[in-house]
Amino acid sequence: MAHVRTYNPRVRVGNWKEDVTLEEETLRNFILQKDRGELTVQKEGDLKQNILKPVSLSVSQDGFLHFGDTVMLVNSGGGEHEQRGSCVLSIIADSSNITSQSDTNSVPHLLGPLQVGGAHSMIPCVRNAFIITSVDGTSDGEVLRYEQSFALRTTAGFAGELSLASDHKTFLKCAKKSRLQELSLVEEFDFLCWWKVIYFDPQERLENEGYPVQVNSKVLISHCKTNQCLAALGNHILWTPFGKEYELSAHTFLDSYKAERDNNHWLFFMAHPANQNQSLMQLQQDSEITDEQRENQEDMQVKECS
């Protein structure tokens, strides 16, 4: 039968000296970890405080996307094949992914590899802000064009300047829920981090190759190595420290017409000079209303001509 201590260490029974020493050592370790900020509750608090810190998105003066811009990548959702709301490409991290102050003299930051998910919050913050980075030597400020390679990098500081990467799925390396091609944020920058923007309409894709990418408009984001598009999966839910989020993967979903489905439709959201006080959802709703009005006008013109 196992020995169970029925008295506290102040009672001089059995190995009371060892019990007192053990409790004193435990208390000293606790105080030392508290002073260093290494307690789990402290790390969780620092994570939420730093990763949810507001970020100012870049302002588009000409309506185009440029290298060096800070943007949000938003999937507008859809209901044709699944009930999926809008989501934003976001970092998934916990306290174990933060550098310890005892390990480095620099400011604490996130360490890769990290997962990504489709968060529902549309507020720009460190968690969902990404920088358009050149991979071919193009200088910052130059316009990003369709079919031109680029990289998506997290912001400097706490986000750790990690790059969005992907690779062919294997039996051991794939998305957790869907088992499709995995996405991750890594520290090493290589060809696995290369992406390109593809024009939304397949029938006009060839004509728009090489033209500047417009902000706040639907596009496809294709992985250069695997030729799979960034996708949001509404049927696969991830439980994260920030709540329930959609799983993201690199997989091209095609409909019966061989056109990409709304899972692969993304928007580069930036601040607009005329709409800095508007929310992102209002901008999205305004763009959808404009598209509907344009379609109605075209239908009216067809009826008048007939």
pLDDT tens-digit profile of 110-133? 988 999 999 998 899 999 999 999
Examine the pLDDT at 166 and tell me if it is beyond 80. yes
**Mean pLDDT of all residues in the chain?**
83
The helix (run of H) or strand (run of E) holding residue 46 is helix 40-51
* C-alpha to C-alpha distance for 214 and 144, rounded to whole angstroms: 9
Examine the pLDDT at 304 and tell me if it is beyond 70. no
Q: Determine what percent of the chain is predicted with pLDDT higher than 90.
A: 49
Secondary structure (3-state) at 220: strand
Q: Do the beta carbons of residue 59 and residue 273 sit within 8 Å?
A: yes
Closest CA to 185 of 223, 154, 229, 225: 154
* C-alpha to C-alpha distance for 24 and 20, rounded to whole angstroms: 6
* Across 48-60, average pLDDT: 90
Cβ-Cβ contacts under 8 Å for 116 (sequence gap 6 or more): 89, 90, 91, 92, 164, 183, 184, 185, 248
Which span out of 8-17, 146-155, 236-245 was modeled with the highest average pLDDT? 146-155
Give pTM, 2 decimals: 0.78
Q: Do the beta carbons of residue 232 and residue 223 sit within 8 Å?
A: no
Q: Tokens 């130059």 belong to which residue?
A: 142
